[in-house]
Amino acid sequence: MASPPLLSLRDVRLTFGGNPLFEGVTTWVGKGDKTVLVGRNGSGKSTLLKVFAGEILADSGERFVQPGARISYLHQDPVIDTATLADFVAQGLAPDEHDQTWRVDAMMEALGVDGSRDPANLSGGEGRRAALARALVGNPDALLLDEPTNHLDLPTILWLEQWLKDYQGALVMISHDRRFLESVSKQTLWLERGVVRRAEFGFAGFGQWQEDTYAAEEAELDRMNNNLRQELHWLSRGVTARRKRNMGRLRALQGLRKERSTRLSSKMDNDRRVVLEADAGEVSGRLVIEATDLVKKFDGKVVADGFSTRIMRGDRVGLIGPNGAGKTTLLRMLTGDLAPDGGEVKLGTNLEPAYFDQRRDRLDPDITVWDTLTDGRGDNVWVRGTPRHVVGYMRDFLFSDNQARTPVRALSGGERNRLLLAKLLAKSSNLLILDEPTNDLDMDTLDLLEEMLADYQGTLLVVSHDRDFLDRLVTSVIAVEGDGDIKEYVGGYSDYLAQKPQAKTVEAVKPAAKVENAKPKSQGKLSYKDQRELDDLPARLDKLHTEIAKLESDLADPNLYARDPARFDKTAKRIDVARAELETAEERWLELESLREELAG
């Protein structure tokens, strides 16, 4: 250890309902450590953080706190029991600092907290920001933060990121924001199946570490025929397959961004009327939204001042900007829900919109998961016009079979979000409108959402503060900067940063230039082994396509689960494996074909 521990756990064990949640946990954080706590949904991360904070007593083991050290803990669901938010934030100061109200004011301003507000009338986001201000204001010796970026806009996340980089104490944090974790963290604690592993590197190295660990454990248990070996195999294949799928999807996304760039360049280089006339004969529904010279003001505040854009079928557009700049207002104008003061919005034909809003209030807490998905009618969910048995569809969204009859009120926040996504994505739609979809999502659900949106064939409009989410998903970014300043940039959030006027100097050191210089000299053709593999892959792809079609047909039988649960379970498991094998084979074909073309010049 670089420094003596400020906070440590030794041989800690905790059980819930007679079952061990974790045991034998021995770990620590010292001054200057910036540690991320990761693990699957339901693994006990938040509970372990509460043990660190002393809010939950372990069944056995020891918790050590350096004498005199002050610890500050950010709850996921803070309870605010003061007269004003300023009073609540001031509670984070040390006893000898209570006269330093300027620190309270500065922290509230940085986090967008109105200190005069009555806590009884707060939204969940306002309460979270106030709790974060309270945690930071006293500059404690140790900070324990549970989802600190939830409900923060991008400028505030960037401010928090820098604050934590400069922070000199011990930090342990849980977050779904990958870019935030990669930027801040220096150590990783991984909670998996009740065991905590520690690595002396940050979140950027977690994916490879996770894959290597699963592969090593699976190899060690290869000759053991038990459930643990099967679970490890599923985990290992899932992590590997997800990485390969993401690589393939990112390649496809680059193609979509090039197409979007071409259209935006044409719009800038040509008269708008000419472009419209050129598109007049295209297939009905190709044009989704045409906004021309939009103007909007609220209470004298300019939201939009002459903004224009053109969104076509298949585009994925992200909206970013500070809270209060007008992102949601612009979204409502683009979708026809709010009329502009000036300008015009034309909507395409045959639009079927579906909404995922910030409130997440469209679930009835008194009915079961089963009835929520089926609308109380039978055993099937109609997924974009095709019947799926409710249990099989639930599994796609990480629900276990025994949760089918669980009432919605008994689900966790992450599970409710997954249920709402399952219901929303089952609807037939060609325009998906997502307003802050990543708020309160755990990392498992966020992965699931990214995968499903990457495969979505319609048009997406997304308001989000998650940089990694935007980089992986959108073809262009509309930046709502405030005071009517709205501009569109091709690509994701990183591309937006590179293209902003104040960021032009960055263009001199583009990573792409390094990749270009590092290309190997042309060898002319593939090796014999690679060419043989490339020749064999089409037949394998056809075989897997045929098998998956047969499995999908079997699962579409509405009576299969009731008639033969074991066969249903076997078929559902095999289709997951077959899909992973197909995606791996497709990724390998793309890799070899790209290499062949490169070598051929």
Using CA of residue 42, residue 44, residue 49, residue 53, what is the dihedral sign? positive
Query: What is the model's pLDDT at position 67?
Result: 93
**Higher pLDDT residue, 187 or 538?**
187
In a domain, 246, yes or no: no
Beta carbons of 568 and 392 less than 8 angstroms apart = yes
342 three-class SS: strand
Judged by average pLDDT, the poorest of 48-52, 308-312, 501-505 is 501-505
Query: What is the model's pLDDT at position 504?
Result: 37
CA distances from 501 to 471, 479, 496, 504 (A): 19, 13, 10, 6
In a domain, 233, yes or no: no
Using CA of residue 361, residue 367, residue 370, residue 376, what is the dihedral sign? negative
- Is 186 labelled as part of a ligand binding site? no
The answer to whether residues 403 and 505 belong to one domain is yes
The answer to whether residues 536 and 502 belong to one domain is no
- Is 325 labelled as part of a ligand binding site? yes
Q: What are phi and psi of 344, to 5 degrees?
A: -145, 145
Is pLDDT of 512 > 60? no
Query: What is the model's pLDDT at position 513?
Result: 33
The answer to whether residues 361 and 412 belong to one domain is yes
For the entire predicted model, the pTM comes to 0.71
∠250-461-111 over CA atoms, to 5°?
95
Is pLDDT of 230 > 70? no
CA distances from 205 to 27, 74, 199, 212 (A): 19, 26, 9, 11
Confidence of residue 398 (pLDDT cuts 50, 70, 90): confident
C-alpha of 62 from chain center: 35
Using CA of residue 542, residue 544, residue 547, residue 553, what is the dihedral sign? negative
The helix or strand, by DSSP H or E, that contains position 346, with its residue range, turns out to be strand 342-347
Confidence of residue 43 (pLDDT cuts 50, 70, 90): confident
CA 193, CA 23: separation in Å to the nearest integer? 10
CA 434, CA 416: separation in Å to the nearest integer? 16
Residues 460-482: tens digit of each pLDDT: 999 999 998 998 899 999 999 98
DSSP states of 101-158 as a string? HHHHHHHHHHHT--TTS-GGG--HHHHHHHHHHHHHHT--SEEEEESTTTT--HHHHH
- Is 46 labelled as part of a ligand binding site? yes
In a domain, 149, yes or no: yes
The answer to whether residues 195 and 262 belong to one domain is no
Query: What is the model's pLDDT at position 207?
Result: 85
- Is 44 labelled as part of a ligand binding site? yes
Task: Report the percent of the chain where pLDDT is more than 70.
Answer: 82
Judged by average pLDDT, the poorest of 43-47, 297-301, 309-313, 592-596 is 592-596
Among 189, 182, 188, CA closest to 204 = 182
Is pLDDT of 307 > 60? yes
- Is 407 labelled as part of a ligand binding site? no
Beta carbons of 65 and 71 less than 8 angstroms apart = yes
Q: Which residues contact 487 (CB under 8 A, 6 or more apart)?
A: 478, 479, 481
The answer to whether residues 535 and 482 belong to one domain is no
Residues 97-121: tens digit of each pLDDT: 888 889 999 999 999 898 988 888 7
CA 301, CA 306: separation in Å to the nearest integer? 14
The answer to whether residues 332 and 195 belong to one domain is no
**Higher pLDDT residue, 508 or 47?**
47
Last residue of a domain, one of 218, 236, 266: 218
The answer to whether residues 140 and 27 belong to one domain is yes
Beta carbons of 192 and 40 less than 8 angstroms apart = yes
- Is 40 labelled as part of a ligand binding site? yes
CA 209, CA 248: separation in Å to the nearest integer? 21
CATH number at residue 544: 1.10.287.380
Beta carbons of 493 and 470 less than 8 angstroms apart = yes
- Is 54 labelled as part of a ligand binding site? no
The helix or strand, by DSSP H or E, that contains position 556, with its residue range, turns out to be none
In a domain, 319, yes or no: yes
- Is 323 labelled as part of a ligand binding site? yes
Count of structural domains within the chain: 3
In a domain, 516, yes or no: no
Query: What is the model's pLDDT at position 568?
Result: 79
Range of the domain at 200: 5-218
Q: 422: exposed, middle or buried (C-beta count within 10 Å: 0-12, 13-18, 19+)? A: buried
Number of neighbours of residue 173 by Cβ within 10 angstroms: 24
Judged by average pLDDT, the poorest of 225-234, 544-553, 584-593 is 225-234
Locate 76 and state its tokens: 């996921």
Mean pLDDT across the stretch 547-565?
78
Mean pLDDT across the stretch 427-454?
82
Dmax (CA) of the chain: 77
Query: What is the model's pLDDT at position 152?
Result: 87
- Is 18 labelled as part of a ligand binding site? no
The answer to whether residues 127 and 99 belong to one domain is yes
Residues 332-375: tens digit of each pLDDT: 999 999 999 999 999 998 888 888 765 555 788 899 999 999 98
Query: What is the model's pLDDT at position 247?
Result: 57
The answer to whether residues 172 and 54 belong to one domain is yes
Residue 446: DSSP 8-state? H
Q: Which residues contact 580 (CB under 8 A, 6 or more apart)?
A: 237, 238, 241
Is pLDDT of 495 > 80? yes
In a domain, 399, yes or no: yes
- Is 41 labelled as part of a ligand binding site? yes
What is the chain's alpha carbon radius of gyration, rounded to the nearest angstrom? 26
In a domain, 241, yes or no: no
Among 176, 185, 147, CA closest to 35 = 185
**Strand 316-320 versus strand 476-482 pairing type:** parallel
Residues 67-95: tens digit of each pLDDT: 999 999 998 878 888 888 999 999 999 88
Is pLDDT of 521 > 50? no
Confidence of residue 281 (pLDDT cuts 50, 70, 90): very low
**Higher pLDDT residue, 413 or 476?**
476
The answer to whether residues 502 and 561 belong to one domain is no
- Is 127 labelled as part of a ligand binding site? no
294 three-class SS: strand
Query: What is the model's pLDDT at position 308?
Result: 94
Judged by average pLDDT, the poorest of 81-95, 172-186, 293-307, 530-544 is 530-544
The answer to whether residues 592 and 464 belong to one domain is no
Query: What is the model's pLDDT at position 489?
Result: 92
Query: What is the model's pLDDT at position 270?
Result: 37
CA 52, CA 94: separation in Å to the nearest integer? 20
Last residue of a domain, one of 448, 474, 509: 509
Locate 160 and state its tokens: 């928090």
Is pLDDT of 259 > 60? yes
Query: What is the model's pLDDT at position 542?
Result: 77
Residue 565: DSSP 8-state? H
Beta carbons of 576 and 396 less than 8 angstroms apart = no
- Is 385 labelled as part of a ligand binding site? no
CATH number at residue 311: 3.40.50.300
In a domain, 523, yes or no: no
DSSP E strand stretches across 163-315: 170-174, 187-192, 195-199, 287-298, 301-312
Confidence of residue 276 (pLDDT cuts 50, 70, 90): very low
The answer to whether residues 428 and 550 belong to one domain is no
CA 276, CA 312: separation in Å to the nearest integer? 12
Residues 563-582: tens digit of each pLDDT: 887 887 788 788 878 877 87
Last residue of a domain, one of 218, 242, 268: 218
